[in-house]
Amino acid sequence: MTDLTDALAVLRERFGHTAFRPGQAAAIAAVLEGRDAAVLLPTGAGKSSCYQVPAVVAAHRGAGTTVVVSPLIALMNDQVDGLRARGIAAAALHSQKDDGEQRSTIGALVQGELVLLYVSPERAVQDGFKRLLGRARIAMLAIDEAHCVSQWGHDFRPEYMRLHELRDTVRAPVIALTATATPRVMAEIAGGLALRDPVTVRGDFRRPNLSFEVQHHRGDASRIEATIEALARAGLRQRTGWGRGIVYCSTRKKTEAVARALKAAGFAVGHYHAGRTGLVRARAQAAFALGRTRVLVATSAFGMGIDYPDVRVIVHFQAPGSLEAYYQEAGRAGRDGEPGHCLMLFGAADMMTQRRLHDGADGHRSEEALLALERYANATICRQQILCTHFTGTDDHPACSRCDACIDPEAVRGAGSARRDRPHVGFGEDGDLRGDEGSDGRPRGSALGAAVQQVILDAVAAAPRRVGRVNLARALRGSHAKAVVTQGLERLPHYATLAEVSEAQILATIDQLIRERRLVRRGRKYPTVGLPDPPRSRSREPGPSVARPRQRSSSVTLELDSYRKRMARQLKWKAYMVLQRGVIAAIDQQRPMSREALARIPGLGPAKIARFGDDILAVVRRRSPPSRSTDRG
Ligand code: ADP
């Protein structure tokens, strides 16, 4: 066993943590011994420490720099800033660094002044970079988001398949890290990155102090009742006392309605969603932190990096979109090791809501995620076992003896058969969610800006024939309505592109385009819309757009879509909070090549550009023709 005294000292003195978290010590010991490691830990478990801590130890020992390959420029920059703030010499090399910065980083690396060097995968596989590594002293290679090597995964990055080439130049241990690790992906990571007899560190996904429960409900009234009961059981009816509870809802409107109902029932309750102003959100969070409100009703927007140790109960008023999301949110209960209760209220309407909120572009994956969630809700065996098996791919987890299926299997099975007899709820219950404000918080029914207009015009241009305005709006929102399907509108490249915008807003925008004569309306009873003559003269936004073949537009859109989902997972946001689909469509249209051009994209503010701009530009450059590509890696 390697002596971890140095590592523990670094963890305490440089990072301010008192002890290793599960898995960290094993991973750190492996690389300090010079062995390869494959680290599978749940999100938030502290994967970065697994390479940052040994990097500092190795640098102290004169072993050189740790090179970290990371696919997200925004996160690289965050990490470098964080490390520098702790007095650790770190830098990043990627396409968005100017020449001067790159030169000084390279100089520092060669001089052995860097503890950590972050690098994009594109840069990492360039010959020039490999030569550079040959001139430097390298202690270790860390491959973050290692599942990007998997061709089966949603985050596949071709450069990851070539990262093993670095081993030809660098004789140093490799540590690969991920939170996604079915056996197939784990095998691909070990093979694709050419790990040599790696120490595998598999986090414990079990939470022995949590009791999981699923209840099946149809309408809101019985859900409110069940929520009140769960909160009361956790002792949260009293306005003061120990512990707190979180109630997660899928939509803002529902969040507000549930908060009202709980308030009326006498709870000290606040609510939180991304549609509220920053100030109001901060207040809601502070009141909850200080215990003035003991219950917080929130969308998944709540929770970014926030850990309260004494959350006693987490109710999902509506089922979330995946077990990943569920585990992350429910896992906020019982962080202090004391008992926590995780109750999911499930109904067929929740699946509808999720389909509506989910991405059309990645329908297959979201559908798989929903199926896994549905299986969990309908299961009659230990719920912890299901969760652990889902995340680790192994099925040797003991039953928890705390969940509803362990405690009262008869009742759980009974609920299952009663449920199957019931007709599906369908759109009825979901209907009341349909009128939600758009994700941008605009009131419903007002016309939207250039990006959305462009999506509508493109969709009309791509439609096989003239299309009814309501059907068009529904297709753009990703509806599976019969008319949408029979008219083949599901195959439109823009299908579901505007899922986060309300139908009323899309209709208002179509009407505005008609008023502006950019669309022409025909027929009275069943009006259809088409482009004005000449039929294919498409109106364009002024700006740096460049004519290009149509099929390429999808690759930028697809990659940005996958990017926003990855960022959303990392930041624990909703995907649309990273980038709205209309914004992605506009980026694809205009192909901005500079920050200035990005600033002209409607819906991309300075904060978004500061945070995500570099990544967006990298995607656009990577996906644009070589003659225009200026990416150096
Ligand atoms: P992951 O990459 O696994 O999602 P991070 O590396 O971002 O997780 O770490 C999540 C959080 O856990 C960070 O706030 C980090 O400071 C904290 N953390 C990491 N290691 C420890 C530790 N040993 N003790 C306490 N907190 C830790």
Confidence (pLDDT) at 433:
24
Query: In angstroms, rounded to a whole number, what is the distance separating the alpha carbons of residues 292 and 90?
Result: 41
Confidence (pLDDT) at 129:
96
- When mean pLDDT is compared across 539-543, 557-561, 611-615, the lowest value belongs to 539-543
Nearest residue (by CA) to ligand 1, atom 18, is 46
- The structure's pTM equals 0.53
* 607 CA → ligand 1 middle, Å: 25
Give the amino acid at 601.
Answer: I
pLDDT tens per residue across span 153-188: 556 788 999 999 999 889 999 999 987 666 667 888
Query: Quick one: average pLDDT of 118-138?
Result: 95
Q: Is 66 helix (H, G, I), strand (E, B) or coil?
A: strand
State the pairing for strand pair 467-468/520-522: unpaired
State the pairing for strand pair 138-143/174-178: parallel
Confidence (pLDDT) at 253:
94
pLDDT at 605 over 90: no
Q: Is the CB of 17 under 6 A from ligand 1?
A: yes
pLDDT tens per residue across span 396-423: 788 999 999 998 888 888 775 454 333 2
The number of beta carbons lying within 10 Å of the beta carbon of residue 293 is 22
Confidence (pLDDT) at 421:
33
**Whether the Cβ atoms of residue 570 and residue 559 lie closer than 8 Å to each other:** no
Contacts of 59 (CB under 8 A, 6+ apart): 65, 66, 89, 115, 139
Q: Is the CB of 25 under 6 A from ligand 1?
A: no
Nearest residue (by CA) to ligand 1, atom 15, is 46
DSSP state of 21: P
Which residues on neighbouring strands pair with residue 244, listed in sequence order? 311
Query: What is each CA distance from 152 to 155, 189, 322, 510, in whole angstroms?
Result: 9, 12, 18, 39
Atom nearest to 20 CA in ligand 1: 23
Q: Is the CB of 49 under 6 A from ligand 1?
A: yes
pLDDT at 480 over 50: yes
CA-only gyration radius of the chain, Å: 26
**Tokens 């990703």, residue?**
478
pLDDT at 552 over 70: no
Q: Is the CB of 41 under 6 A from ligand 1?
A: yes
Q: Is the CB of 21 under 6 A from ligand 1?
A: yes
Query: In angstroms, rounded to a whole number, what is the distance separating the alpha carbons of residues 69 and 46?
Result: 17
Nearest residue (by CA) to ligand 1, atom 24, is 17
Q: Is 212 helix (H, G, I), strand (E, B) or coil?
A: strand
Q: Is the CB of 47 under 6 A from ligand 1?
A: yes
Confidence (pLDDT) at 21:
92
Contacts of 515 (CB under 8 A, 6+ apart): none
Counting beta carbons within 10 angstroms of the beta carbon of residue 5, is it exposed (0 to 12), middle (13 to 18) or buried (19 or more)? exposed
Q: Is the CB of 576 under 6 A from ligand 1?
A: no
pLDDT at 482 over 70: yes
Q: Provide the pLDDT confidence category of residue 450 given band limits of 50, 70 and 90.
A: low
* 428 CA → ligand 1 middle, Å: 43
Confidence (pLDDT) at 512:
86
* 593 CA → ligand 1 middle, Å: 35
